Amino acid sequence: MTSPVSELIELLSLERLEDNLFRGQSRDIGTKYVFGGQVLGQALSAAQATLNEPRSAHSLHAYFLRAGNIDAPIVYDVDRSRDGGSFSVRRVTAIQHGQPIFVFAASFQKDEPGSEHQLSMPAVPQPEDVEPASAVPPEVMAKLPTKIQRWLTRQGPFEFRHVYPRDELSPPKRPPYQQVWFRLAEKVDDAPELHRALLAYASDFYLLGTATFPHGISYYQPDVQMASLDHAMWFHRTFRADDWLLYSIDSPSATGARGLARGMIYDRHGHLVASTAQEGLIRINTDGRRHPISDTAAAATPAPGSE
């Protein structure tokens, strides 16, 4: 039987149709639409595949335009915007059924030395000292929608351990920050571009959900609608996605039915390896029904503490 990690690596390994055209499959992980992290990871994989020489992704910026269909493949059209002496830029459009669902730009740089500094990692327990999440009681699980049941019972490719767990089914109000240890569940190849694509995939978990903390709401509630609107990421240092990483997230603002969240990702030795930012839709529907989001976002992800 194929493991969840092998399935994810296969998902990020795109079929090349032309020099700058790729096709990726979609995976149903219990979300209503294509998971935003999947599109991020696949778009980065497509961009990396068009580089003519070794250069490392140092930043990416993306907008989710339309909801992605889980049952259909996604075509990635790469524009080789620039290849300079030190930097390369790629723009990627993700297309389904003839329409763009996602646009993405990434910049790559030749490795070179320079001055360094970073913010220190928060003082938190080591991952071995943090308990894995408890299973949802069967009587509670039976009352949840089928899609959410599938999400909560699936064995995903990443292991997550929350330093300060929150009950997403009955969320309390608390300050808008959290720390989550995570790692890929199996060891994989050393290729840095693979680990960057894996981290791009994982970076969409738990980010926007932090903006719900002060309001005592979560995606699981039937009157709450959430979806990613954009996503930015910066890669600072080398890392391995199959070693423990700490995702330290805060949300500085929520207004106008949108929430902003920021994240810093550290390895277990305290090195800041990546930073993220995301704004997303957070809409509370007074009529108790979810409004369609096909014209506003490409992913709605019922991950605990995420979208």
Q: Point out the catalytic residue in the list 204, 248, 251, 275.
A: 204
Residue linked to tokens 């991950």: 303
CB 227 within 8 A of CB 64: yes
Question: What is the CATH class of 4-110+132-284?
Answer: mainly beta
Beta bridge partners of 278: 261
pLDDT in tens, 230-283: 999 999 999 999 999 999 999 999 999 999 999 999 999 999 999 999 999 999
Domain boundaries, the chain: 4-110+132-284
Catalytic residue among 48, 225, 278, 306: 278
Strand, coil or helix: what is 39?
helix
Rounded to whole angstroms, how far apart are CA atoms 72 and 264?
33
As a whole number of angstroms, the distance between CA 166 and CA 245 comes to 20
Task: Please say if 278 is a catalytic residue.
Answer: yes
Enter the tokens of residue 177: 């920050």
Q: Is-catalytic flag, 19?
A: no
Active site residue 228: yes
pTM recorded for the entire structure: 0.90
Which pLDDT tens digit goes with each residue over 50-102?
999 999 999 999 999 999 999 999 999 999 999 999 999 999 999 999 999 99
Residue of 38, 48, 107, 228 marked catalytic: 228
Count the helix, strand and coil residues of the chain and give each as a percent rounded to the nearest 5.
20, 35, 45
Taking the C-alpha atoms of residue 6 and residue 12, their distance in angstroms, rounded to an integer, is 10
